[in-house]
Copies of this chain bind each other. A is one copy, B any other.
Amino acid sequence: MELWYTERQTPYAGITCLVRETLCHFRTPYQELAVIDTVQYGRMLVLDGMVQTTEQDEFVYHEMIVHVAMQAHPDPRHVLVVGGGDGGAIREVLKYPSVESATLVEIDEAVINAAKEYLPAIAGALDDPRVRVLVADGIQHVRENQGKYDCIFVDSTEPVGPAVGLFAEEFYAGIYRALKKDGLFVAQTESPFFNRDLIKKVFARISRVFPLVKLYLASVPTYPSGLWSFTAGSKCYDPETGAGRPVMTRYYNAEVHQGAFRLPVFVRELLEDS
């Protein structure tokens, strides 16, 4: 018998892959959680039926959400990841010796535990002594911690369920206040092929809060359309300019940092309309 997992990424299209084994599958207080072992992509974390991360291609997403801002900031010491309970973004943050503290605020403890148990190569960094793991509401944490962070990463699920508030202008204003006076942040902002309205709205919202806003792209095979966007909001440093500090990676490098901001015509047009 062959078991195939299919995610309908839109009502009309999706990806499908052969499954070796379902490692866990249950309801948390916030969402449906599964970890499945697939032949093509290795182990895969699925929340509410949507692929969050896989062993094979997680490196692209986690490197690209983190390193652009970490290289744009000259000396990131205190870093916050909102969401990202799998630990992949924290792992990338810790690659910089300048980092003194890395705080993870994940609302759903079950995500953290499942990642620690089934995705240790992604979640392993959560045990680093510089890491503080808080099972809490990221919106509230940002509100209660002003002027504290050099870099903030919003490593959220899609804007449904618990993540809706993480795409609101009020949250971006909270992030502005939670950053130090020269801080910057990056949020994952979905696919430019499939989520054009969201990208336009989010870009406009962040532009009303931050003086410098730029969108960049990376290729993540298991995410809808394979092309993913990130939006950076910054108080002073240009997100497009990386310091070129050495870091061990498989996707990100100084060239990719620059190339990721060179946007296709149809993406550029989205931002001009927004």
Contact = CB atoms under 8 A, between A and B. Distances in A.
A17 B14 CA distance: 6
Interface residues of A, number: 41
Contact of A219 (B40, B227, B251): B227
Interface stretch (A115-123, A143-151, A264-272): A264-272
A55 interface: no
Nearest to A264: B251
Interface in A200-240: 217, 219-221, 225-227
Contacts of A41: 13
Contacts of A40: 10, 12-13
Interface stretch (A21-29, A128-136, A176-184, A255-263): A255-263
- In the complex, the count of this chain's copies comes to 2
Contact of A250 (B6, B255, B266): B266
A39 B13 CA distance: 8
A253 interface: yes
A253 B226 contact: no
Interface of A: 6, 10-18, 38-41, 57, 60, 193, 217, 219-221, 225-227, 249-253, 255-256, 258-266, 268
28 contacts: A10-B40, A12-B17, A12-B18, A12-B39, A12-B40, A13-B15, A13-B16, A13-B17, A13-B40, A14-B16, A16-B16, A57-B193, A60-B264, A219-B219, A219-B225, A221-B225, A226-B226, A226-B227, A250-B266, A251-B265, A252-B264, A252-B265, A253-B264, A253-B268, A255-B263, A258-B259, A258-B262, A259-B262
